[in-house]
Structure 1
Amino acid sequence: MKKLLYTSLFALTLGASACTVADVQRTMDGVMAGTAGAPVTQNEVASGLKQALEVGIKNGSNQASQTDGYYRNPLIRIPFPEDVQRVENTLRQVGLGNEVDKFILTLNRGAEDAAKSAVPIFVSAIRQLTIADAWAILRGDKDAATQYLKRTTSQQLYNTFNPIMVTSLEKTNATRYYTDIVNQYNKIPLTQKVNPDLDDYATQKAIDGLFVMIAQEEAEIRENPVARTTELLRRVFAKENQS
């Protein structure tokens, strides 16, 4: 079949004296490639970016929601609240380091538990992506889609994610451990009493961690053809890599 196609094209070209060898080659390339060489449409770009984000969100959230997904990942591990770092230092100095470690572990377990519920929140947000946004993202930095998502959805995501995180912290006993160690700290003579908002801190840190994971997945899709798991992703990002 391929031989017949080339023969037919060659015979046709002999009868058209205005055609050059380059014209023949372009014609054959176009026929053999089919639609593979066609320009990517605006709708394809928008759909491709949404697919990329959905893939990144699902992969990133799944990784974060595994046991030790936060706790053993130095990029997203949630530490003792930074604004009361002196509390951790003081408690360790007076022999309460084990209690601090239990709290940090359960804090990250809470984030891992809450991450399971993040996917539908993110997916709902990316469906608002416009064609103009999609083109800008496609030609932007390797984390442009993640930054767009962060910029446009952070507050809504926080409002929805916060009660989920609160429930998860209670489920993993992080809230109880936190209350216990803060109370113990406040009983130490000559210390300034503290009562930081754990729910707010944990929610924001958990969300930040999810964005880190999504950014990694986005970069992988942009740079590694193997990570493009659908035909549309391969088509959209292959075109961008060639431009």
Structure 2
Amino acid sequence: MNESNLPHVLTVDDDPAIRSLISEYLTDNGLRVTAAANGEEMTAALEEYAIDLVVLDLRMPGEDGMTIARRVREKSSLPIIVVSGRLDEVDRVMALELGADDYLTKPFSPRELLARIRTVLRRVTAAQSLTGRQADARAFRFAGWELNIGTRRLTSPVGKRVELTNGEFCLLNAFLASPGRVLTREQLLEASRLYDDVYDRSIDVQILRLRRKIEEDPSHPQYIKTERGVGYVFAAAVDKLTGAAS
């Protein structure tokens, strides 16, 4: 494979030994790697390269990883795996709430880091595929319901408008773009994040709320069905409306 086509990982850590270890292992396993010692070098790398994922040390002198993660997440949905030498649950929760995609505690094996990187990259690729299918749709229709993408308006079969939160809209949009396809919780979370901010990270809770709005009997759903141990599938036929409205 052409090296320019390989996923490009940026590792940010003030410890040169860790930077070297991560860089060598990931490079030997089919990834491009750029290393940075601090936030300034990270910013320069992001400006120079098309980075696919950042491995970010949480505790660094100067601008710490938490501040850097917050700054990155304010501007983009670039995947971030946070690493830290502390076992403090507060750090892990704060990192995830800031939008980190995963959290790894030092010391960790390079093999585990590689596995987590590959998992996050697969998840993001799947989410981008979902978003691409949504891009040219102006509305979806199913069983008399209509979801207008431009206005984010859901209309019931009797013509009643049903209010949706941002998270509910994003989830329903993702389901309607891929009817009959099983979507994992991770795919639904990433699809939602790419479309808008979803602060409630419990996909199951959001789906329960969405079912209450579109299902006749939420305890026996006909549209959003659970695939145990995998995720969810939208079981109804969906018509996709494209192009400009007439």
Structure number with bigger Rg: 1
Point out the structure with the larger strand share.
Answer: 2
TM-score range, shorter chain: under 0.3
Which protein has greater RCO, CA pairs closer than 8 Å, 6+ apart?
1
- For normalisation by structure 2, the TM-score amounts to 0.25
- For normalisation by structure 1, the TM-score amounts to 0.26
Point out the structure with the larger helix share.
Answer: 1
